[in-house]
């Protein structure tokens, strides 16, 4: 799949799994995922292929099935990108919080352009990096409004990181 995506400049979908079992094949996934394209690749120290992907948009997974090669294939619907919204004053603390934690995670999460004032961008970055259970992450991904997503994240962060938020 990776070879085909690189040769044909195609993308693929990354979705959260509903179970965290160490099965050989994953078949039970959440309804929403991220359509990504490969931006870089290279051989890792252990000989495996490492890839870097860039998320393009959220997709709804309409159906999926395991093929003979053990690859999960499916049909997806590309959803329209959210309109850019300035972060309302009530949620500016979330942008500050992300700026504070980013240095600690920048080796794992990278982006081309910082958009700290964009409600959608901040809400997806926090969804991406916060240590949340899979159902909560899936719920956040499925919300189609950045302000609603920020409200849910705001509630979570104020519960989990109360001291850190008070110091900002």
CATH number of 103's domain: 1.20.58.1480
Q: How far apart are CA 42 and CA 2, in angstroms?
A: 12
Give the chain's domain count: 2
- Domain contains 101: yes
The pLDDT tens digits for 8-63 are 889 999 999 987 676 666 778 999 999 999 998 888 899 888 898 999 999 999 99
Query: Same domain, yes or no, for 162 and 108?
Result: yes
The pLDDT tens digits for 82-110 are 888 899 999 999 999 999 998 888 777 87
Give the structural domain span for 132: 89-166
**Beta strands 11-17 and 29-43, pairing class:** antiparallel
Query: Same domain, yes or no, for 126 and 148?
Result: yes
CA 93 to chain CA mean position, Å: 21
Tell me which of 59, 78, 97 is where a domain ends: 78
pTM: 0.85
């Amino acid at each position: 799949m990776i070879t085909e995506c690189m040769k044909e400049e195609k993308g693929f979908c990354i979705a959260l799994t509903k179970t965290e079992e160490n099965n050989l094949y994953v078949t039970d996934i959440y309804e929403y995922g991220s359509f990504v394209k490969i931006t870089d690749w290279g051989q890792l120290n252990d000989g495996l292929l490492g890839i870097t992907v860039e998320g393009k948009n959220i997709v709804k997974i309409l159906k999926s099935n395991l093929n003979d090669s053990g690859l999960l294939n499916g049909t997806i619907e590309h959803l329209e990108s959210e309109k850019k919204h300035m972060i309302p004053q009530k949620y500016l603390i979330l942008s500050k919080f992300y700026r504070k934690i980013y240095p600690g995670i920048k080796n794992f999460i990278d982006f081309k352009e910082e958009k700290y004032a964009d409600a959608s961008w901040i809400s997806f970055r926090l969804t991406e990096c916060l240590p949340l259970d899979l159902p909560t992450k899936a719920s956040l991904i499925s919300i189609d409004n950045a302000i609603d997503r920020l409200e849910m994240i705001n509630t979570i962060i104020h519960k989990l990181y109360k001291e850190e938020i008070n110091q900002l």
